[in-house]
Copies of this chain bind each other. A is one copy, B any other.
Amino acid sequence: MSTFGSLFRVTTYGESHCASVGAIIDGCPPGLPLTAQDVQVQLSRRRPGQSNLTTPAERLIQQNGITQRDEKDLVHLQSGIEHGVTLGTPIGLLVRNEDQRPKDYSETDLYPRPSHADWTYLEKYGVKASSGGGRSSARETIGRVAAGAIAEKYLKLAYGIEIVAFVSSVGKVQLPSAISPPSQVPAEDEDTVEDALSPEFVELLNTVTREQVDAQMTRCPHAETSERMVKRILRAKEANDSIGGTVTCVIRNVPSGIGEPVFDKLEAKLAHAMLSIPATKAFEIGSGFRGTQVPGSKHNDAFVQRPDGRMGTRTNWSGGVQGGISNGEDVYFRIGFKSPATISQEQETAQYDGTPGTLAARGRHDPCVVPRAVPIVEAMAALVIMDQVLIQNARKTASALLPPITTLPPTMVKNVKPAASEEQKQ
């Protein structure tokens, strides 16, 4: 369905060519300073066209503000806010669909587009939108991004949480530090495995900023790699083809204790959230698939006391999660996006009625969507963390009102201090 979250809950609506797309955000903490601009920033980062890889001539047009598919995407906040402060009531918001162009796609109507959702939507609903992607269009993500921006603002203010996503690969062009070079991969009967993640990549995770990400057209914060990604994308564009990639996201300053075992573990909700983004096919947290090859003796994250007295772990192959619960280390994960299904080549396929034939796509299309996916990934990450922070706070506040536990051995208990004020009791 179109609702995500339990205490912080977003519900979205909207197809690619209807009057508007929008969302209702329910459960936002009251008292949060919030303006349309807070939301607009992320909406603008997800807009098509602006980070698109373009020819110099096109780039010139862009610089003059006339982008190819300028959807504008101005958000209109409807409710839940007065004098710039949230009321705790649902926040309604919408973005008008200005470009409805239903005719653009009409000539190819006899064909379900390969690897698109045309055919499955018709199978599921028995009826489908006449034009474009309908509900499966990337425009649907506008509601998510808007909701995520609100969650992110809260998390930043209340916990100093930072969420930074970036492009880690386009096709076979990878951040060089992301994985060990093939030459270092030992034979399978050797035990001298290297770490699944290189020290350089860990350093990147620890430090990368959103500004560094946006400084590159590809949103890959490593200039040299970004250059190669640009070439790869342009090659796809010139071939009327498309190419996929991966986005990595790091969340810093997540409080420990977040995540709701056994079914709503932090990584499970993150995976759910990420795989609900259009075109995603894969998710891994921490060392991920590569970590499965590292023996426990090298993969375990040993504990160490931090200078500030807090417990931490010496390494972080776990990606900040143990047993489905955050441990206070950075949470990081990677998402795979398939190559866009819309290409400008002819494709041998079949019509809805089974007749074989050739589908020739028209119009301009993004040859690579991962740069635009960055703010969407950040938004979904914020929604997951926000919801689980609220649930965990309900539990901790509840426990804090109970008398201290005195009957258990000390290693079984970490007594929560009683809340300080009467305020908390209500």
Number of residues from A at the complex interface, CB < 8 A: 204
A123 touching B257, Cβ below 8 Å: yes
Chain B residues with CB below 8 A from A283, complex form: 271, 275, 282-284
Smallest beta-carbon distance A375→chain B, Å: 17
Contact A286 B281 (CB under 8 A): yes
Cα-based distance from A287 to B243 in the complex (angstroms): 14
Contact with B along A178-217 (1 / 0, CB 8 A): 0000100101110101000000000000000000000000
Q: Is the CB of B89 within 8 A of A407?
A: no
Return the contact of A296 from the options B89, B241, B275, B282 (Cβ within 8 A). Answer: B241
Q: Does A313 contact B (CB under 8 A)?
A: yes
Task: Contact check, A129 vs B323: say whether CB atoms are below 8 A apart.
Answer: no
Number of copies: 4
Residue pair B13, A24 in contact (C-beta under 8 Å) = yes
Closest CB in chain B relative to A140 CB, distance in Å: 5
Q: Which of A277-297 contact B (CB under 8 A)?
A: 278, 280-289, 291-297
Contact across chains for B124 and A259 when beta carbons are under 8 A apart: yes
A86-116 Cβ-contact flags toward B at 8 Å (1 or 0): 1111111010000000000000011110111
A420 contacts across to B, CB distance below 8 A:
417, 419-421
Residues 110-142 of chain A, each 1 if its beta carbon lies under 8 Å from chain B, else 0: 111011110111111111111000111000100
Residues of B within 8 A of A24 (CB): 2, 11-13, 22, 24
The answer, among B3, B89, B294, B402, for a CB contact under 8 Å with A13, is B89
CA distance A288 to B392 in the complex (A): 33
Provided the pairs A26-B2, A88-B127 are in contact, do residues A349 and B303 lie with their beta carbons within 8 angstroms? yes
The answer to whether B29 touches A402, judged by C-beta atoms less than 8 angstroms apart, is yes
A148 within 8 A of B: no
Alpha-carbon distance A386/B14, docked complex (angstroms)? 22
